[in-house]
């Protein structure tokens, strides 16, 4: 009798027969199946992460020229080739369709949401360009010297962030997308930090139990525990030709006309991976090279 009960109860993963009777295990000790993942098309990155998880939030953070957008194009290429519909919430309107097309992205399957700032000026004629140069002769806008990168006024960034959050909400509610990307890569951390944690939590809940990969590009990780996978990218150097002994950014001995940019050497560090049930022997960091379109 007890053997039959034990067999039945052991099939319910929450309970276990012990000598004294029945022990109830907490849910955290249950063996949950691994969520499905999607490869990025970058062998080194896929070996590091096992792929980006579906139904979860993934963050890719790093400074400018660290390779974040290259990873984005790689996964967009992979998913659009699989005939999945993808969406990109471009907070800074910085997506380059030409780069994406050269990388192999099927632009027909990519929904591009271009957030706008209310104060952005658009240069449409030479007269406009000359006027902008004249107006910009006054002291330049505030630069974030620590990050070496500043794009818009603070208010403009907040407008864009607000639009991006609303657009992301609508896309996740609509459903049906294989990949939804929120591009905060050019948003100053001081503006991105103002995104309430509740928004990230809401996004995570919206994609749970769906086949959608939610990917966020940013300069620093902001989603905290809402992210299942967090990667930190950095660019060790850019690859150039003619190749030098050290492809160092300080090497300026060659004539500029004799140099050619060939790509980036990208380093990736795994900061968090909640999908790992146990900690296998897996490297915590990796590197790969990206290549520009004209490198052949």
Partner 1 sequence: MPFAAIYVPDFPVASIVRLESELREHAVAVIEGTPPAVRVIAANDKASEAGIEPGMTKLEAEERLAACNGRLAVRSPQREAAAHAALLDCACGFSPRVEDTSADTAVLDLAGLEHMFGPAASMARELAARCARTGMEANVAVAANPDAAVHAARGFAGVTVIPRGHEAERLASLPVDVLAALPDPQQCQEMLDTLERWGVRTLRALAALPEVAVTERLGQPGLLWQRLARGATMRALHVTEPPLIFEETFELEYPVELLEPLAFVLHRMLEQLCARLSARALATNELRIRLNLEASDDCGIAELRNYRIHERALRLPVPMLDAKIFLKLLQLDLQAHPPKAPVVKVWLAAEPAEPRRTQNGLLLPASPEPERLELTLARIAGVVGRGEPIPGADREPRVGSAEILDTYRPDAFRMNKFSPPAAREHEPSLPSASNAADHACPPATALRRFRPPLVARVTVCEGRLARLAAECANGEIGWAAGPWRVSGEWWTDHSWSREEWDVSVGGALYRIYRDANGWWVEGTYD
Of 59, 84, 218, 273, which one interacts with partner 1 (CB under 8 A)? 84
Q: How many whole angstroms separate alpha carbon 58 and alpha carbon 180?
A: 11
Q: Minimum CB separation from partner 1 for residue 25, in Å? A: 34
Q: If binding means CB under 8 A, how many residues of this protein chain bind partner 1?
A: 100
Mapped onto helix, strand or coil, the DSSP state of residue 249 is coil
Counting contacts by CB under 8 A, is residue 23 touching partner 1?
no
Counting contacts by CB under 8 A, is residue 276 touching partner 1?
no
Task: Select 41 or 227, whichever has its Cβ closest to partner 1.
Answer: 41
Tokens of 164: 């991006």
Of 8, 25, 261, 285, which one interacts with partner 1 (CB under 8 A)? 261
In 25-139, DSSP assigns E strands to 37-38, 52-53, 56-61, 86-90, 110-114
Of 7, 10, 34, 136, which one interacts with partner 1 (CB under 8 A)? 136
* DSSP code at position 254: S
Q: Minimum CB separation from partner 1 for residue 266, in Å? A: 8
Q: How many whole angstroms separate alpha carbon 219 and alpha carbon 234?
A: 11
Counting contacts by CB under 8 A, is residue 290 touching partner 1?
yes
Counting contacts by CB under 8 A, is residue 143 touching partner 1?
yes
Closest CA to 80 of 263, 170, 213: 213
> Residue 270: in which H helix or E strand, if any?
strand 260-273
Distance, CA of 268 to chain centre: 12
Q: What is the contact mask toward partner 1 in residues 26 to 45, using x (rule: CB under 8 A)?
A: -------------x-xxx--
Of 32, 133, 193, 205, which one interacts with partner 1 (CB under 8 A)? 133
Q: How many whole angstroms separate alpha carbon 109 and alpha carbon 87?
A: 8
Q: Which stretch binds partner 1 (CB under 8 A): 190-198, 222-230, 258-266, 271-279?
A: 258-266
Counting contacts by CB under 8 A, is residue 190 touching partner 1?
no
């Amino acid at each position: 009798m007890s053997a039959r009960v034990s067999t039945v109860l052991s099939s319910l993963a929450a309970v276990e027969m012990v000598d004294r009777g029945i022990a109830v295990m907490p849910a955290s000790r249950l063996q949950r199946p691994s969520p499905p993942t999607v490869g990025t098309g970058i062998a080194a990155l896929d070996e590091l992460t096992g792929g980006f998880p579906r139904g979860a939030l993934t963050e890719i953070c790093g400074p400018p020229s660290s390779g974040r957008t290259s990873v984005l194009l790689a996964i967009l290429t992979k998913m659009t080739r699989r005939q999945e519909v993808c969406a990109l919430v471009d907070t800074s309107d910085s997506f380059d369709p030409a780069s994406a097309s050269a990388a192999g992205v099927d632009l027909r399957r990519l929904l591009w949401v271009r957030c706008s700032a209310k104060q952005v000026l658009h240069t449409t004629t030479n007269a406009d360009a000359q006027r902008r140069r004249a107006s910009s002769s006054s002291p330049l806008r505030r630069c974030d010297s620590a990050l070496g990168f500043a794009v818009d006024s603070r208010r403009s960034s907040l407008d864009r962030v607000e639009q991006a959050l609303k657009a992301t909400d609508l896309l996740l509610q609509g459903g049906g997308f294989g990949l939804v990307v929120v591009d905060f890569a050019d948003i100053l951390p001081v503006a991105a930090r103002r995104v309430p944690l509740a928004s990230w939590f809401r996004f995570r809940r919206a994609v749970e139990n769906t086949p959608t990969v939610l990917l966020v590009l940013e300069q620093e990780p902001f989603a905290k525990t809402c992210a299942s996978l967090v990667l930190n990218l950095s660019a060790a150097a850019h690859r150039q030709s003619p190749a030098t002994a050290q492809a160092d950014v300080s090497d300026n001995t060659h004539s500029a006309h004799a140099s050619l940019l060939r790509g980036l050497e990208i380093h990736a560090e795994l900061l968090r991976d909640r999908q790992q049930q146990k900690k296998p022997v897996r490297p915590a960091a990796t590197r790969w090279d990206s290549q520009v379109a004209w490198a052949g």
